[in-house]
Structure 1
Amino acid sequence: MTQPLVFITGASSGIGQALAHRYHRAGFRLALVARRTSEVKTWASAQGISHDSYEIYSADVSVTDSIVAAGRDCIARQGVPDVVIANAGISVGMDTAVLSDIDVMARTFATNNIGMAATFQPFVDAMVQRGSGTLVGIGSVAGIRGLPGHGAYCASKAAVISYCESLRGELRPHGVRVVTVSPGYIDTPLTQQNRYSMPFLMQPADFAERAFRTIRAGVSYRVIPWQMGVVAKLLRMLPNPLFDKVLAGRPRKRRQSEMQ
């Protein structure tokens, strides 16, 4: 119990798994949250992570009662985490003209936004009372400007950035940090079906290393890799007519019916 503790959602693959491995290497105990708990257990065993250094919590982040219960269970079994990383997220293309895609948008917000707030909720008061802790929201460069065919995801990640900024101001006086990390393109199951170019594509382990250093430093907001941050700022500065022209004809994110 003397080792620090990190609570990570979406720990069954991709960024979540890479972050779990990096924090384990740094000597943290792990609280790993996923729907597919058997995959987390298999992965932890393959990595040689001892059973006494991690706990696995079954939860669906899109269901508030489920993820809140996992957070409370974590406090009861492992204590109040030093770091909470709300990493779980979904990314699916949408077409507003298709009625069923409105449900896609609802699921995206339920996971990426309501799910993030519900992930943090069980820990806020305990961290405030302790006077320390770090809450980490995983955003995206896609939250900086809207991409055609990607309205649900872009809107959800824009909301993540604003939400974390609001929360940061609320908790700063109490010694609790809020860090927003916005990845560019990371080679994970979320991106592997993309049908457009992905500049500065990173491997999950490389992202996890940079994110770990960012979180440890308590940086309020960072785009990883930094090159995508430059690209995002340039896109933000483009006048709307020029931005629209640049993206004209760009392949769109696959919709649910187009995914394997």
Structure 2
Amino acid sequence: MASPLVFITGASSGIGQALAARYHRAGWRLALVARRVDEVKKWAEASGISVDSYEIYSADVAVTDSIVAAGQDCLRRQGVPDVVIANAGISVGVDTALREDIDTMARVLATNTVGAAATFQPFIGAMAARGSGRLVGIGSVAGIRGLPGHGAYCASKAALISYCESLRGELRGTGVVVSTICPGYIDTPLTRQNRYAMPFLMRPEDFADRAFAAVQAGASYRVIPWQMGVVAKLLRLLPNPVFDRLLAGRPRKHRQSEAG
């Protein structure tokens, strides 16, 4: 029998690449999606991954037709995945007083939220017909409470968390499991320019180990590391005046024009 197959978006760096490496070590076949196809190919070759155990699909997750086409191509070339991980995401600060940042917010939502739904769409019917499969949305603890200057990212991840919860209910009884994995601060290109403290910062490889275990266990929701889950819950419980004072003066996320 063929090895199980995992479909991962945002596979060119960071969490996506670490997840791909973890699944490869477990003997899975890989369907890797990225805009930077050459980067993924170079990484796979450097990692010694045999060419018959992976395929690379070029897609822009922010463009619905592009990522849906990649999913359909995967079905034709590799079959129905056992796990689909909607990981691709962008994190950019916004200032609602600036017109150009509204366009930035639209792009963040298109990538992080609508892009995740479009990632899942091609596979739901086939997984339900087979009676098995796992759909994994990579959320964030930033989706649990809004952070100043981080409105686009927080909103996109809050929407993704709620979307996955809705989808989980819709697919109950089909054999298709929906998991929401919420990373805390992970040492990736997305976080390295942050100008504020990042408690419990994790290496991508450590996150990937824990995420792999959570998905395999069929977890419906998991915050990694667990300490950030405790922090997020405590912040959620704070009355708004206390929360607002706590975050007063906190450095804002870099805007698009400020990012290096």
TM-score, normalized by length of structure 2? 0.99
How far does residue 172 in structure 1 lie from its aligned partner after superposition? 1.6
Match of 1:238 in 2: 238
Match of 2:96 in 1: 96
- Structure 2 CA distance, aligned partners of 1:229 and 1:113? 21
Which amino acid counterpart does residue 184 of structure 1 have in structure 2?
Answer: G
- Structure 2 CA distance, aligned partners of 1:44 and 1:237? 44
- Structure 2 CA distance, aligned partners of 1:136 and 1:180? 6
How far does residue 109 in structure 1 lie from its aligned partner after superposition? 0.6
Which amino acid counterpart does residue 129 of structure 2 have in structure 1?
Answer: Q
Match of 2:128 in 1: 128
> How well do the aligned residues superpose, as a CA RMSD in angstroms?
0.5
- Structure 1 CA distance, aligned partners of 2:149 and 2:162? 22
Match of 1:207 in 2: 207
How far does residue 2 in structure 1 lie from its aligned partner after superposition? 1.2
- Structure 2 CA distance, aligned partners of 1:167 and 1:62? 20
Q: Does 1:62 align with 2:62?
A: yes
Match of 1:19 in 2: 19
- Structure 1 CA distance, aligned partners of 2:63 and 2:151? 22
Unaligned runs of 5+ in 1: none
How far does residue 113 in structure 1 lie from its aligned partner after superposition? 0.8
SS at match of 2:232: helix
- Structure 2 CA distance, aligned partners of 1:171 and 1:127? 10
Match of 1:163 in 2: 163
Which amino acid counterpart does residue 202 of structure 1 have in structure 2?
Answer: M
Which amino acid counterpart does residue 120 of structure 1 have in structure 2?
Answer: F
Match of 1:107 in 2: 107
SS at match of 2:71: helix
How far does residue 67 in structure 1 lie from its aligned partner after superposition? 0.3
How many residue pairs get matched? 260
- Structure 2 CA distance, aligned partners of 1:90 and 1:65? 19
Which amino acid counterpart does residue 249 of structure 1 have in structure 2?
Answer: G
Which amino acid counterpart does residue 143 of structure 1 have in structure 2?
Answer: G
- Spell out, residue by residue over 1:70-129, the C-alpha distance to the aligned partner (whole angstroms, 9 max, x if none): 000000000000000000000000000000000010000110011001000000000000
Which amino acid counterpart does residue 75 of structure 1 have in structure 2?
Answer: L
- Structure 1 CA distance, aligned partners of 2:175 and 2:36? 34
Q: Does 1:153 align with 2:157?
A: no
How far does residue 158 in structure 1 lie from its aligned partner after superposition? 0.3
SS at match of 1:172: coil
- Structure 1 CA distance, aligned partners of 2:259 and 2:118? 28
- Structure 2 CA distance, aligned partners of 1:208 and 1:171? 25
Percent of aligned pairs with the same residue? Answer: 80
Unaligned runs of 5+ in 2: none
How far does residue 170 in structure 1 lie from its aligned partner after superposition? 0.6
- Spell out, residue by residue over 1:120-150, the C-alpha distance to the aligned partner (whole angstroms, 9 max, x if none): 0000000000000000000000000000000
- Structure 2 CA distance, aligned partners of 1:257 and 1:175? 45
How far does residue 173 in structure 1 lie from its aligned partner after superposition? 1.1
How far does residue 256 in structure 1 lie from its aligned partner after superposition? 0.6
How far does residue 205 in structure 1 lie from its aligned partner after superposition? 0.1
Q: Does 1:116 align with 2:116?
A: yes
- Structure 1 CA distance, aligned partners of 2:158 and 2:115? 15
- Structure 2 CA distance, aligned partners of 1:62 and 1:239? 35
How far does residue 54 in structure 1 lie from its aligned partner after superposition? 0.1
